[in-house]
Amino acid sequence: MIRNNQIITGTISYLDEASNGVLLHGKDRIFVRHVLEKEKVKVQIVKKIKEGYSAKLIDIIEASKNRVKPECGIYEKCGSCQLMHISKEGQKERKIAHLKSLCKKAKNLNLKVVDVDTMQEPYHYRNKMIIGFQKDRKGQIQAGFYEEFTHNVIPYNRCLLHPTICDDIIQFIVQLMKKMHIEPYDEDKRRGLFRHVLIRYGMVSKEIMVVLVLNQQVFPARKAFVSELTKRYPQITTIVQNVNTRKTSVVLGDQERVLYGPGFINDALCGLQFHISSKSFYQINHEQCEVLYKKGIDLLKLKGNETILDAYCGIGTIGMYASKFVKQVIGVELNKDAIEDAKKNAKLNNIKNIRFICDDAGKFMQKMANKKEHLDVVILDPPRAGSSEVFISSLAKLNPKKVLYISCNPQTQMRDLQLFAKYGYRFKEIHGVDMFPNTFHTESIVCLFKENDKCKEIRRKQK
Ligand code: SAH
């Protein structure tokens, strides 16, 4: 029987899907953060959890060759990064191992992991950041990240994943809040004005958007706040006030008012120009996004005469990039702000062979299948929850020859691939692109082909 606070020494057997180390103790599994496979460690039991026990690391008795000292001062507490104690090479190994273990679990799919493309300089890559505020015991305002599963803000000055200027802006906002007596929002009491600040940074354009998420419509110090902020940081090209009065952990509310500038930023991606507004999705790692899109389009080996669907298209980035290589593109996306951006972006880039539709991807696919429309290629890039049965079954009816499945959650991608396989799609390889260095997340791409009857015949004969 394992007790709380008990000290246990042992060797980490493996890392689980969330990169927690697993130490086997008799029949029990003990989960520890920030360790590596095969490391000998001393841990202290924190509590019983459903899967076993959680424990905190007390000492590393034998360290892995891949262990490095995390450069970040709040790494232990923060929880936003999980792999900063692992060298660049070690992180790559870890991400390949993670994809391999998912492929092994789905062994009927017979998928081979090709590689995980990693960044040379895996820091300061995030182009979007969300910061919360709180008061410490002395009443001083602190800016920081929300601790996992709690309402606590972990105070910070610098984040190694953010562009430095964005952290400077946050520190200045804290100063302005103090000077102008602006209260941070208290989630328990549901009082206070500033809930969050969201910053978007154009990696190429260097334009900056600041979104102030407030707990009410009225922002008394609005004019002075905007004037001081933009005077100090002229790099800020737009400021948006977003109102969120709901009891929710969702950051943005529905209502918005542009306080300064055009209400969007511009950025360039894959040689194209994009307008990005506050609520639209935009890949958070610019450099790796270009790697991802190029790899995806290469895998499709497009001929130029195809009609393609870009499902879950966001502001139309990959569809517009693909439009150069095909006859026409249809983009579908649920978020109406993103679709507005996408339409503007097509005009901005003078792309004539693309159109965008605001709809649920599954419903849209169903409608297309009912009308027996023609599609040669489908690109899908759904959110973490993956795609849906209705989307995949309707896609199967439309029978496109090729499908490119981009995912930010390989686990749900594997689930969906099972369904694609049932509908006769074949695929051999999964490619990883590390869009989120220092965290356990990986983006993955699989290119699927539909076998025609002739191919099936050949395969049958080969067997
Ligand atoms: N392909 C884009 C966006 C990918 S993120 C890019 O590379 O930037 C996933 C997108 O799916 C988000 O824009 C989200 O708003 C959208 N989305 C989520 N659920 C959806 C649904 N049911 N139907 C259509 N789009 C959806």
CA of 302 to the centre of ligand 1 (A): 23
Scanning the structure block, which residue is given the tokens 């594997």? 414
Which ligand 1 atom minimizes the distance to the CA of 281? 13
What pLDDT does 268 receive? 98
Which ligand 1 atom minimizes the distance to the CA of 383? 9
How far is residue 359's CA from residue 53's CA, in Å, rounded to a whole number? 44
Tokens for 437, please give them: 């260095």
CA of 391 to the centre of ligand 1 (A): 13
Rounded alpha-carbon distances, angstroms, from residue 91 to 74, 175, 263: 19, 37, 37
How far is residue 99's CA from residue 101's CA, in Å, rounded to a whole number? 5
What pLDDT does 455 receive? 58
Would the CA dihedral through 247, 250, 255, 257 be positive or negative?
positive
Interior CA angle at 158 toward 409 and 247, to 5°? Answer: 60
Residues with CB under 6 A from ligand 1: 281, 283, 312-314, 317-318, 333-335, 338, 360-361, 381-383
pTM over 0.75, yes/no: yes
Mean per-residue pLDDT pooled into runs of 10, the chain (463 residues): 94 93 96 96 96 96 97 91 96 96 92 96 97 94 86 91 98 98 92 96 98 96 97 98 93 96 97 95 97 97 97 97 98 96 97 98 98 97 98 97 98 97 96 97 97 62 62
Give, using CA atoms, the residue closest to atom 11 of ligand 1: 312
What pLDDT does 249 receive? 84
Would the CA dihedral through 197, 202, 206, 207 be positive or negative?
negative
CA of 279 to the centre of ligand 1 (A): 12
Contacts for 209 with CB less than 8 Å, ≥ 6 apart? 199, 200, 236, 237, 238, 239, 240, 261, 264, 265, 276, 278
| Residues acting as catalytic residues | 408
What pLDDT does 454 receive? 56
Q: Are residues 307 and 376 in contact, defined by beta-carbon separation less than 8 angstroms?
A: yes
